[in-house]
Structure 1
Amino acid sequence: MAIRHDGQIWLVDPNTDSQHWYGRDSWWDTRRNAAVGSGDLVSVEYWRVQAQIPGSNSPLRTFTLRRQPLTTQWRLDSIDDGS
């Protein structure tokens, strides 16, 4: 698995613990109504992984990724460089 960010490809380190969880979105604050059968409108999926630029001495950074309900694209929520 890899992450493309800021013109770089960051490879996820398979030897580190990844975290996966779900949060809740308050869809009623952003959308006025929902059609019957719209699907899951509240589950926000998160992954926290450690990654680094391959072939470099760059330190591992912790990326938190988020996927909003009913979307297929992942968004970068945060990056922690450990400092």
Structure 2
Amino acid sequence: MPLALRYENKIWMVDPDLDTARWFTRDSRWETQLRAAVGTGDLVSIEHWQVQAKPPTGDEELRTFTIRREPLSTAWLLESVS
């Protein structure tokens, strides 16, 4: 589970006491890439998290962040903030 996010040049702390959601979707890699090396790993599972977070100062309202991580990537991408 993510513990914090960087957004608008601030570190937003994930509230572990609130509901979080984690799910996986599948990338259609087979439509764009023909082959992968044996032992490469999972090339199609995209991990998603939806968490609620706020800056450590507490000046701002809690926001809901949806993030995702592409297969074999170590970086997370921001999908939405509400």
TM-score, normalised to structure 2, is 0.87
Deviation, 1:29, is 3.4
Distance in 2 (CA, whole Å) between partners of 1:2 and 1:69 is: 21
Q: Gapped runs of 5+ residues in structure 1?
A: none
Q: Which residue of 2 aligns with 1:49?
A: 51
TM-score, normalised to structure 1, is 0.86
Deviation, 1:33, is 2.4
Q: Which runs of 4+ in 1 moved over 3 A?
A: none
Distance in 1 (CA, whole Å) between partners of 2:31 and 2:7 is: 30
Distance in 1 (CA, whole Å) between partners of 2:32 and 2:74 is: 19
Q: Gapped runs of 5+ residues in structure 2?
A: none
Corresponding residue to 1:8 among 7, 10, 16: 10
Aligned length: 80
